[in-house]
Amino acid sequence: MQYLYDLNDPKNFIWPLEIKTPDGYIGEHQQTVLFPEGPRRHFCMTDSVMHTTRPNTGVHFHEHVVGYETFFVDSGGMDIYITGKKAFIKPGSVLFIQPYQAHGMFFHEDVKYRGFFHDLPYAEGGDAAKMLRTTNPDFLNDPEFPKDKAPLNDFAFREPPHSFKEVPPEECAPIRHRERPMAQFELDGAMFKMLTGRWENAGLCELWCFEMKKGFYAESYKYPVNQDLYYLTEGKVKFKCYAEEFVAHQECLVKLPMYAPRSFEVLEDAVMYDVGGLPRWNDYLTDRESVLALDPERAAKPETLDDMRKKFGVHYREFGVR
Ligand SMILES: [Fe+2]
């Protein structure tokens, strides 16, 4: 079982893909890192470099009808055209796109673009799609290939955007940033910030950013009920999963299977995103704050917060500075 995926190590890349414009310009180099899992096709991840958009080609505008896309814009600068607005996205931002939200991107330079997906029928076709990609990686650029039968068929193409009003990023709801979380909770040694809500992800997951100080520690229950997927953008975190120990640094993914007892300890101040987002962090942290303020006597009983964590699938029994 692989727990650690360093995005700067090519051995973690599968399904290399060059996505070309009709005249042959390579607009995107895409690498799949994680295949989707389960009926909601969760835990799917691609690591792309989006190449500079040429001014004369216009913006490729499209929407999805079932899939959700969460992109980390990790370098470079780009414009997004979405819901009637145009806005500049700076590195360190997260672009969150829901079904029927038509979107088009203009890349001012090469952009490291890390995508996390759910509900997107990315690998429909299973082994047949894998064989096709392996034996004929350029199939999408072949005019004979029936596009409506493509493994990723959740695309509806739209007319290029026109007269979209330019706004600052904070006025464009799909652009999220840890500078402006939807909710935040201060814990001992860490700030937990919510970037997307469960109600925005059709009930499946939420997106959190954990800003953690050196020494912050978390330990799971013996049988964690969720798989975790973390994306580290700053700092160093030491993990233990079953008996195995390893250190994650920036631009690493950490994938920890359900039932696997785990802990982590921050070695250098870190910024880590919970991109799996299965625990109901928002419900737990909100109710925890309420009971701490409204009924401190009840909050002080160890079973109170323990029961609350179990109720909301928060599979860590301890977090704070040791
Ligand atoms: Fe898209």
60 CA distance to ligand 1 middle (Å): 10
Alpha carbon distance 8, 112 (integer Å): 11
- Residues sharing a CB contact under 8 Å with residue 295, sequence separation 6 or more, in sequence order: none
11 CA distance to ligand 1 middle (Å): 26
216 CA distance to ligand 1 middle (Å): 36
pLDDT in tens, the chain (322 residues): 899 999 999 999 987 888 888 788 999 999 999 988 999 999 999 999 999 999 877 788 999 989 999 999 999 999 999 999 999 999 999 999 999 999 999 999 999 999 999 998 765 556 677 788 778 878 878 889 887 777 766 878 899 999 999 999 999 999 999 999 999 999 999 999 999 999 999 999 999 999 999 999 999 999 999 999 999 999 999 999 999 999 999 999 999 999 999 999 999 999 999 999 999 999 999 999 999 999 999 999 999 999 999 999 999 998 899 8
- Tell me the domain boundaries of the chain: 4-176, 183-321
97 CA distance to ligand 1 middle (Å): 8
Instruction: From residue 219, give the alpha-carbon distance in Å to each of 66, 150, 207, 299.
Output: 35, 43, 20, 20
CATH topology match: 4-176 vs 183-321: yes
Residue that is written with structure tokens 């509806």 in the block: 156
Q: Which CATH class is domain 4-176?
A: mainly beta
Alpha carbon distance 256, 239 (integer Å): 10
- CATH classification number, 183-321, choose in 1.25.60.10, 3.40.630.30, 2.60.120.10, 3.90.930.12: 2.60.120.10
63 CA distance to ligand 1 middle (Å): 6
Total residues belonging to the chain: 322
- Reduced to 3 states (helix: H, G, I; strand: E, B; else coil), residue 209 is strand
62 CA distance to ligand 1 middle (Å): 6
74 CA distance to ligand 1 middle (Å): 17
In this structure, are residues 36 and 61 in contact, taking their beta carbons and an 8 Å threshold? no
302 CA distance to ligand 1 middle (Å): 45
Tokens of 65: 């009808």
